[in-house]
């Protein structure tokens, strides 16, 4: 089903450029308000959270206008993690939740993603219907039925208590020295508060947002800052979140990084040993390392693969009754506790494993040997479609032939940026490098 605005994780782009304009946000709010306000039998409400981007003020205001124009009452949460919006949508009996964030993207970008009344992200079909309403225009509410808007001050604290409750009863993090990198983003207050209240000694970095420094040389996509802090302070572990705190990377006591695949592998085995892993399977995307799949098979478990995007992971989890899934990039979804990826919650699960086993982070963070993997991105221009060019298709076919039997190739368009992602895996690194480089060169030539 073709969609003009929505990608793999809501609507996203450069602020004040199509489609991320205030006008679009107003129309999107009105369309979503009309879609979820299906009758007039009760109060209809929406909760809106955001990260720390400067443009968040603009989009928050525009979406509030759109929602209230259709009779929806708006509850503004301020800066909170994305998973907090999913949680509060259900706990506050809202019809819809909105998170204004471009996640790990630079500060100049922003995005809008929706949660349904069940706290889960919307389906492709629901997003397509909202787009249809945007194009057709929606009838505003009568003057007497315009919605109200107000700020909610305790949303962050509700989320904090929910996250803390996921640790085993009575467990304390006392004795652990933890570096937490909040990426100058949505969790800049939440994450340090939660860790300190649970007993940890906290070294916080990336907690001074100014509207323009989110994800800037910090967070899950730039772990060097936190790694340096781990080593400098002699910390036991580092937790790196992204701008909206739905992703996580773990650092061991040496500053070495463990990605989402390693964390999922650790949790899948632990949960299986405890009889907690529903369906004997982990759900992950096509990007997850082949080494993870082999590790799970050796443990008698399965890896269920989906398209890229944590909401596709969640859809498969719900369809199959699975309770653990995620992405190599650090989205970890635990439906026993949350409706979407939650970086802080996943980080706490790792800390709980450290406490329960008495083992160092480095002993827990590398549960399998990754198959060599190479990912390169090629940016393309507006209106271009390099994957349709004959020379690109020929390069892809040649790379697939070379990798056949000892690896795999994955070519896809990013759902959040104008990028072609070229990823390959192979035990033969020479073949791996040649395959990726040849495809990248062909794509680059097609974009000239």
pLDDT (tens digit, 9 = 90+) per residue, 346-405?
Answer: 999 999 999 999 999 999 999 999 999 999 999 998 888 899 999 999 999 999 999 987
- Marked catalytic residue, from 103, 288, 329, 426: 103
The pLDDT of residue 2 is: 59
pLDDT in tens, 166-212: 999 999 999 999 999 999 999 999 999 999 999 999 999 999 999 99
101 among annotated binding-site residues: no
**Domain 159-255 CATH (choose: 3.40.120.10, 3.40.50.300, 3.40.50.920, 3.30.160.620):** 3.40.120.10
Q: Is the pLDDT of residue 1 over 60?
A: no
Label each residue of 201-250 as H, E or C. Answer: EEEEECCCCCCCCCCCCCCCCCCHHHHHHHHHHCCCEEEEECCCCCCEEE
Superfamily of domain 373-446: Alpha-D-phosphohexomutase, C-terminal domain (3.30.310.50)
CATH 3.30.310.50 placement within the chain? 373-446
CATH 3.40.120.10 placement within the chain? 11-153, 159-255, 260-345+358-364
259 among annotated binding-site residues: no
* pTM of the full structure: 0.90
The pLDDT of residue 40 is: 59
The Cβ of residue 64 has, within 10 Å, a number of other Cβ atoms equal to 21
Provide the b/e sequence for 429-446 (b: ≥16 CB within 10 Å). Answer: eebbebbbbbbbebbeeb
270 among annotated binding-site residues: no
Distance, in Å, from the CA atom of 426 to the CA atom of 405, rounded to the nearest integer, reads 9
Distance, in Å, from the CA atom of 203 to the CA atom of 88, rounded to the nearest integer, reads 28
pLDDT in tens, 124-169: 899 999 999 999 999 999 999 999 999 999 999 999 999 999 999 9
Q: Where residue 254 falls among pLDDT bands split at 50, 70, 90?
A: very high
Classify domain 260-345+358-364 by CATH architecture.
Answer: 3-Layer(aba) Sandwich (3.40)
Average pLDDT for the chain = 95
Enumerate residues 6+ apart whose C-beta is below 8 A from 103: 9, 12, 82, 111, 242, 243, 244, 246, 247, 416
Superfamily of domain 11-153: Alpha-D-Glucose-1,6-Bisphosphate, subunit A, domain 3 (3.40.120.10)
The pLDDT of residue 387 is: 93
pLDDT in tens, 61-108: 999 999 999 999 999 999 999 999 999 999 999 999 999 999 999 999
Mean pLDDT of 273-290: 96
103 among annotated binding-site residues: yes
The pLDDT of residue 41 is: 59
103 catalytically annotated: yes
């Amino acid at each position: 089903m073709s969609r003009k605005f929505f990608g793999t994780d809501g609507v996203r782009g450069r602020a004040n450029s199509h489609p991320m304009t205030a006008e679009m946000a107003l129309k999107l709010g009105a369309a979503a308000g009309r879609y979820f306000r299906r009758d007039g039998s009760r109060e209809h409400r929406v909760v809106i959270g955001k990260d720390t981007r400067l443009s968040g003020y603009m989009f928050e205001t525009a979406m509030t206008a759109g929602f209230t124009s259709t009779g929806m009452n708006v509850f503004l949460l301020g800066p909170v993690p994305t998973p907090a919006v999913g949680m509060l949508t259900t706990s506050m009996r809202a019809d819809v939740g909105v998170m204004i964030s471009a996640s790990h993207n630079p500060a100049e970008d922003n995005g809008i993603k929706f949660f349904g009344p069940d706290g889960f992200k919307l389906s492709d079909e629901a997003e397509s219907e909202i787009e249809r309403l945007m194009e057709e225009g929606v009838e505003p509410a009568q003057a007497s039925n315009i919605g109200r808007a107000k700020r909610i001050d305790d949303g962050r604290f509700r989320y904090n208590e929910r996250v803390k409750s996921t640790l085993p009863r009575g467990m304390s993090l006392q004795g652990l020295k933890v570096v937490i990198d909040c990426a100058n983003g949505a969790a800049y207050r939440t994450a340090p508060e939660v860790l300190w209240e649970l007993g940890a000694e906290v070294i916080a970095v990336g907690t001074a947002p100014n509207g323009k420094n989110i994800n800037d040389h910090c967070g899950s996509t730039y772990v060097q800052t936190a790694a340096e802090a781990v080593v400098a302070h002699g910390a036991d572990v580092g937790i790196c979140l992204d701008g909206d705190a739905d992703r996580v990377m773990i650092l061991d006591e040496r500053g070495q990084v463990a990605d989402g695949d390693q964390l999922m592998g650790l949790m899948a085995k632990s949960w299986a040993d405890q009889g907690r892993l529903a369906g004997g399977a982990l759900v992950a995307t096509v990007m997850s390392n082949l080494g993870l799949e082999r590790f799970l098979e050796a443990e008698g478990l399965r890896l269920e693969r989906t398209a890229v995007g944590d909401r596709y992971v969640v859809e498969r989890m719900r369809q199959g009754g699975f309770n653990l899934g995620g992405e190599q990039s650090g989205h970890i979804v635990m439906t026993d506790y949350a409706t979407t990826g939650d970086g802080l919650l996943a980080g706490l699960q790792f800390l709980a494993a450290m406490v329960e086993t008495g083992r160092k982070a480095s002993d827990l963070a590398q549960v399998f040997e990754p198959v060599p993997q190479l990912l390169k991105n090629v940016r393309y221009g507006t209106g271009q479609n390099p994957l349709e060019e004959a020379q690109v298709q020929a390069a892809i076919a040649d790379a697939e032939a070379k990798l056949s039997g000892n690896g795999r190739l994955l070519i896809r368009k990013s759902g959040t940026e104008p990028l072609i992602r070229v990823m390959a895996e192979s035990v033969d690194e020479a073949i791996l490098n040649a395959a990726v480089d040849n495809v990248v060169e062909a794509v680059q030539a097609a974009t000239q």
